[in-house]
Structure 1
């Protein structure tokens, strides 16, 4: 936490300030509005992701700009798709090709706005993509990690396409997509798989691992297996857990709503937490990964939204019961950060 407060948070905010200044120059009003909104309301996504840079402070000048740029693309596109007048899957697919291009420097960039009316962003999105590419070139182990990073980003892009099309088509599209992957994940449900694909944590861990020139493909596969679906799934299921009331009011899809009651929610999220802890314990620097998991539980379960929803409050109490000291520490720390830093 000393490293986070001393180095990570100030440098993330400095990087975001530069992107905010760039976003203010976007010519198109709608694109400018969504770019600025994504930075203003989702800063904590970049701050949380950049915690991975605390492991390699010597590489933070590469990791922090990379994580901030990649997460900013994700948040910006999420805003564009959520607030879009378009419900065109091809449009959403082309927008998210920018994320795939960001992690594949060998690919040509393209016109990501070709299928929508709002087009002129003053090269804002291309600049984000290029920043990712420039940083990736400075990761000596990236060749070993790239395949699994591309796989995770592809799944993330698929999810964003399926969840933003017309409401009546979303669930059938997600179920058809799940059928392509169900055999590989027999212990989870379709809603849990979809949730897991929505996390960028696995990508950030692989960015961190790629700082090591000795990284092997086998090690990359072990990291992917440890993070997906359980660490990634826990991350997004917690996010959906606290957003249930908000999503219900907005008519938005929420993967926690597919559980058949409070007891199942507690049991499944608890199972994801237990499995995530078990899987990361086999990784090098396992205590850091355990810290990430405990931090996730504490961050989300201390959110003010929890106290505003009776059922969610009950789930939170059950999940926090008999918590280890690390989780309690991060719970108190999360409350302090919200009170003093936002």
Structure 2
């Protein structure tokens, strides 16, 4: 955490400041509004992702702009689709092609807005994609992880398309999609699989792994399997857990709503936590990855939204019961961060 406060957070804010200046120059009012809103409201996404750069400070000048730019694309497109002027699946897929291009250093940039009314962003999205590409070219082990990164990004893109189409079509589209992939995660329910595809943590871990020039495909495959589906699934299921009331009011899809009871939800969360811990025990620096898991639980289960929802409070208390020392540290640390860094 000392590394994070001293070296990572300042770097993230500097990078976001640079990106924000570009966003303020976007001519189209809708694109500008959503770009600025994604930066203002989701800074903590970039800060959380950039924690991976703390594991290799010698490469932070590459990892911080890479992670921040990639996460900013994700948050910007999520805003565009959530508050979209269209519900066209082809439009959403073309927008998210930028994320696939961002993790392919040789990809040619295209007009990602071609299927929507809003067009003029003064090169904003292209600049984010180009930053990712240029950073990846400087990662010595990227060739070993590239196919695994593309696998995770491809699943992420599918999820974003299916969950943002017309509400009456979403659930069936997600179920049909799950049928194509359920053999990959036989122990997960369809909503848990979908959640697992919605996290960027697996991609960031592979970026970190690619700082090793000696990384081979076997090691890269092991790292991929250590994060997907349980660490990534835990990340997004926690996000949906605390957003239940907000999504209910907004009529948005929430993957926690598909459990039959509070007890089932708690049992499934506990199972995913245990599997996530077990998965990361098989890769180098496992203590770092256990820290990530405990940090996720602390971050989400101390969110102010928890106290406003009785069912979520109950789930939170049961999940935090008999917390290990690491998680207790993050519980205190997260509360301090919220008080001193965000609640101004």
Alignment TM class, shorter chain as reference: over 0.9
Separation in 1, partners of 2:185, 2:136: 30
- 1:272 corresponds in structure 2 to 272
Separation in 2, partners of 1:40, 1:184: 36
Cα deviation, 1:24-75, whole Å, max 9, x if unaligned, reads 0000000000000000000000000000000000000000000000000000
Given the alignment of the two structures, is residue 62 of structure 1 paired with residue 62 of structure 2, yes or no?
yes
- 1:28 corresponds in structure 2 to 28
Q: How does 1:64-79 map to 2 (within 5 A)?
A: 64-79=64-79
- 1:313 corresponds in structure 2 to 313
Separation in 1, partners of 2:210, 2:141: 4
- 1:144 corresponds in structure 2 to 144
Separation in 2, partners of 1:299, 1:337: 10
- 1:164 corresponds in structure 2 to 164
Separation in 2, partners of 1:266, 1:333: 24
Separation in 2, partners of 1:339, 1:320: 21
- SS of 1:157's equivalent? helix
Given the alignment of the two structures, is residue 190 of structure 1 paired with residue 217 of structure 2, yes or no?
no
- 1:153 corresponds in structure 2 to 153
Superposed displacement of residue 108, structure 1: 1.1
Structure 2: 5+ residue stretches without partners: none
- 2:109 corresponds in structure 1 to 109
- SS of 1:198's equivalent? coil
- 2:281 corresponds in structure 1 to 281
- 2:83 corresponds in structure 1 to 83
For this pair of structures, how many residues does the alignment match? 342
Separation in 2, partners of 1:204, 1:18: 21
Superposed displacement of residue 146, structure 1: 0.1
Please give the root-mean-square deviation of Cα atoms over the aligned residues, in Å. 0.4
Superposed displacement of residue 105, structure 1: 1.4
Separation in 1, partners of 2:262, 2:306: 14
Separation in 2, partners of 1:125, 1:198: 20
Separation in 2, partners of 1:185, 1:33: 38
Superposed displacement of residue 198, structure 1: 0.3
Moved over 2 A (4+): none
- 2:99 corresponds in structure 1 to 99
Separation in 2, partners of 1:125, 1:43: 17
- SS of 1:233's equivalent? helix
- SS of 2:229's equivalent? helix
- 1:225 corresponds in structure 2 to 225
Cα deviation, 1:64-102, whole Å, max 9, x if unaligned, reads 000000000000000000000200000000000000000
- 2:207 corresponds in structure 1 to 207
Superposed displacement of residue 5, structure 1: 0.5
Cα deviation, 1:307-328, whole Å, max 9, x if unaligned, reads 0000000000000000001001
Separation in 1, partners of 2:327, 2:78: 30
Separation in 1, partners of 2:229, 2:341: 32
Separation in 2, partners of 1:212, 1:69: 21
Superposed displacement of residue 195, structure 1: 0.2
Structure 1: 5+ residue stretches without partners: none
Given the alignment of the two structures, is residue 44 of structure 1 paired with residue 44 of structure 2, yes or no?
yes
